[in-house]
Amino acid sequence: MRPLELQIESGAARHTALIPPERAREDLPSALRRLGFPLNTRCGGRGLCDGCIVELLDGRLTHIASNAPVEAAGQPLRIKACQHRLDGHGPVRLRIAARSLLAYQPQIVTDYRINVSCAHDPLVQHITVRRGGSSPQRWSADALIAAVAAARDDGRPVRLADSAAVPGGDEATVTVEYRPDGWLITAARDASAPLLGVAVDVGTTTVALLLVDLHTGRTLARAAAFNAQMALGDDVITRITLCMHDPAMVRRLQDAVAARTIAPLLRTALGDAGAAPENIRCIVVAGNTTMLHLLAGVDPSPLGVVPFTPVFRDHRVLKAADIFGQDCSDICSPAAAVHLLPSASAYVGADLTAGMIATGLAYDEGPCLLVDAGTNGEIILKHRDRFLGCATAAGPAFEGTGLACGMRAGEGAIIRITMRDRPFTVDAVWIGQERSVRPAGLCGSAYVDFLAEGRRIGLLSPPGRFNTELAADDGERLTRWNGTDLALRIAGDRTSPVFITQGDVSKLLQAKAAIAAGILTLLARAGLAPQDVRKVYLAGGFGTSMSPANAAACGLLPGFAPARIEPVGNTSLAGALLALLDSGMAAELSTVARTVEIVELNLDPGFEDRYIDNMCLP
């Protein structure tokens, strides 16, 4: 047999490869990965998402499930690569959009706003104490504990670690580490030795961290990347389900986030800062409840079945070696304490409790809201002395999943859209535009703009239907996707268009309705209306890049004045940093997590009506 010729177009690149006969029937993702084009198979290659969409321009493939041949038939055919394989015959020509490549450069939010003051009282610190003049030459354990307790003077218990040696001499510098039940003396230390800590936000999609000098509180380096768990499952429900069906997936998912995501980020941050890994003595992690279970190697299966009970939700402390393995000295001290911050419930996690502290919501009389409009749609309402929380199944539409040209924020992602009606025009701004990067797709903030702008100029009706007469003013904008679904080209040319379909609009309306209904349900429980709310804190990467005016105009944040909407960035990372640098904040997080009243939206009699009411555009 002759080799199969595979031609690949990706952006401006053109690549031709000869596939040997023994691999001429290989599945497309594997074949493309070998050639340096790894696809975004974020659902684990099960055909559940649109992450690995490619275009078959010429030639023939085979659909794996049906074994039926698939041909381009003279025009580009969009297919899910994970559901197709080479069929042994060539040549085959494919076009891969940037949004379908796992290697595209993400834009991950490591910026944040902290609205509260912070003491410098880190979770790991050196304390110097002196013995009384007539005491023996060597410290006793009780005397050392008493001296540290007096130096701390915060009323918290102090104990001596079993492995800690009692120092000699009149003066001793010891390392003390915060634990939820008090302070732990772990070692005698040279007070001049660097002491480093790490704050980490483990998100379902992305992971971000800060490397911090605990002596000064200064951030030395930051790093961020996609969560490698995406290749196994796109959302928390998928990952929980994987663990329910195969217990071995717990270890695989732990390895994906610990060894293949956080560990490389630590190496990057250490390299950027010129710091030694053995000086990292403390790592503080915020994230949703499922992510914390998986990082700890704990089966999250109970989170997937009623009554959705976490195995743990309190502040938990592990050793770095328990998470990264005994041989982790290249990224941190194996004895470094890893603090998993407390969650409020199965679906209101430590990322939200951290955000409650960082934004100041926990200390505000309110009424105020913290909204993370991501896949899980977590919402917290503070009113007087009450915290109400919920999670609403918004789905991943605003992260681009399941949409014709959706993508996460990265090179080529359209982030802003403006429209005019007479004449009808569409203007788009995308990441990398100033460097002549071509538009590759749309991210969440652009979809919010489209809904708001489209309704404003009359392109979209209240139910979200296209006004074809208005769109016809620009005859080249309106087309059909896959020959059926009406589509509007936002950017790009006819050969490489970036467009929004009528079906996309329907999915976006469902996502925004879920978040809006969750907000209105919490307000109703407290006897409030949107106009009563003084501040809406909009958290996360999606919230940071979103236009507050358009979020209100499209009904995502229903009835709120744009001036009261405040994007606050990565509040999960900010809260982790605060806990790292101020032990008092770490203690308050546990208190806050215990006081959140969780509202189960599926049990609220008014939620479904509110959801239906918000399916339309205002």
Q: Provide the 10 A C-beta neighbour count for residue 70.
A: 18
pLDDT at 451: 97
Residue range 281-286: average pLDDT? Answer: 97
142 or 199: whose pLDDT is higher? 199
Determine how β-strand 53-58 pairs with β-strand 77-80.
Answer: antiparallel
CB 262 within 8 A of CB 179: no
Strands 386-391 and 337-340: unpaired
Which phi and psi angles does 163 have, rounded to 5°? -85, -5
* DSSP assignments along 442-492, one per residue: E-HHHHHHHHHHHHHHTSB-TT--B-HHHHTTSTTTEEEETTTEEEEEEES
Cα–Cα distance, 167 to 188 (Å, whole number): 7
Burial of 57 (0-12, 13-18, 19+ CB in 10 A): middle
The predicted pLDDT at position 189 comes to 63
Query: Can you count the helices (H) and strands (E) in the chain?
Result: 16, 30
In the chain, % helix, strand, coil (3-state, to 5) comes to 30, 30, 40
3-state secondary structure of 528: coil
- Cβ atoms of 315 and 358 within 8 Å: the answer is no
In this chain, the answer to whether the domains covering 198-300+324-338 and 350-396+508-613 adopt an identical fold is yes
β-pairing, 441-442 vs 413-421, is: parallel
Token pair listed for 328: 């982790």
Give me the mean pLDDT over the 570-596 stretch: 92
Per-residue pLDDT at 371: 94
- The residues, any chain, with a CB within 8 Å of residue 56's CB and separated by 6 or more, are 70, 71, 72, 76, 77, 79, 92, 93, 94
CATH class for the region spanning 198-300+324-338: alpha beta
Spans of all domains in the chain: 4-100, 124-188, 198-300+324-338, 350-396+508-613, 405-501
Q: Average pLDDT, whole number, for the chain? A: 88
Residue 21 has pLDDT above 80, yes or no: yes
3-class DSSP state of 163: coil
Q: Kindly indicate the confidence band of residue 60, based on its pLDDT and cuts at 50, 70 and 90.
A: very high
Domain covering 4-100 assigned CATH 3.20.20.70 in the classification = no
SS3 553: helix
For residue 262, give the DSSP letter: I
CATH number for the 350-396+508-613 domain, one of 3.30.420, 1.10.10, 2.40.50, 3.40.50? 3.30.420
The pLDDT assigned to 475 comes to 65
Q: Which has the closest alpha carbon to 538: 62, 63, 112?
A: 112
Q: What is the pLDDT of residue 35?
A: 86
pLDDT tens-digit readout, 139-162: 788 888 888 898 888 888 999 988
The pLDDT of residue 192: 66
98 pLDDT higher than 90: no
* Total number of residues shown for the chain: 618
Looking at the DSSP bridge assignments, the partners of residue 173 are 128
106 has pLDDT over 60: no
pLDDT (0 to 100) of residue 316: 96
Q: How confident is the model at residue 48 (pLDDT cuts 50, 70, 90)?
A: low
557 and 549 Cβ atoms separated by less than 8 Å: no
Which residue from 511, 459, 452, 518 is spatially nearest to 486, judged by alpha carbons? 459
Peptide bond into 342 cis (omega under 30): no
Per-residue pLDDT, 108:
46
User: Contact at 8 Å (CB) between 554 and 452?
Assistant: yes
- Give per-residue pLDDT as tens, 296-315: 999 999 999 988 899 999 99
Quickly state the pLDDT bin for 111 (edges 50, 70, 90).
low
Look at the alpha carbons of 128, 134, 138, 139 in this order and tell me if their dihedral is positive or negative: negative
